[in-house]
Amino acid sequence: MKKNLLLLGLVVILAIFPLFIQKGAEFGGADGEAEAAIGEINSSYKPWFSNIWEPPSGEIESLLFCLQAAVGAGFIGYFIGYARGKNRPKEETEESKSKHAAHR
């Protein structure tokens, strides 16, 4: 339990620490940087397509990105847990069933 709390604290520190180091820094995405680099290389370049929908603000765009990441992480976690439970040896599951039956 202490190990988990220590790791959780470390993750929180790693997530918050850069925000204090780079006060006033602007966190831009890679898409904007790529667009600027392409414009420098070939000024006559025209994009192949445009966005279907542009979020009203950067905060909503970040929220949607975080939501996408959370759904993906949940799916991956569920799949790994399901695969691990499916591959658990039969003896272990039968042993745990007999322990539960003995407690009742």
Single pTM value for the model = 0.47
Helices and strands per DSSP (H, E), number in the chain: 4, 0
Cα 26 from chain centre: 21
Structural domain spans, the chain? 56-104
Spatial distance between the Cα atoms of 51 and 27, rounded to a whole number of angstroms: 21
Q: Tokens in use for 70?
A: 């959370």
Q: What is the pLDDT, as a whole number, of residue 67?
A: 94
Q: What is the pLDDT along the chain (104 residues), one digit of tens a residue?
A: 889 999 999 999 988 887 777 776 676 777 778 888 998 999 888 888 888 888 888 888 889 999 999 999 999 999 999 988 888 776 565 666 666 666 66
Tell me the C-alpha to C-alpha distance, in Å, between residue 6 and each of 11, 18, 19, 64, 102.
Answer: 9, 19, 21, 29, 36
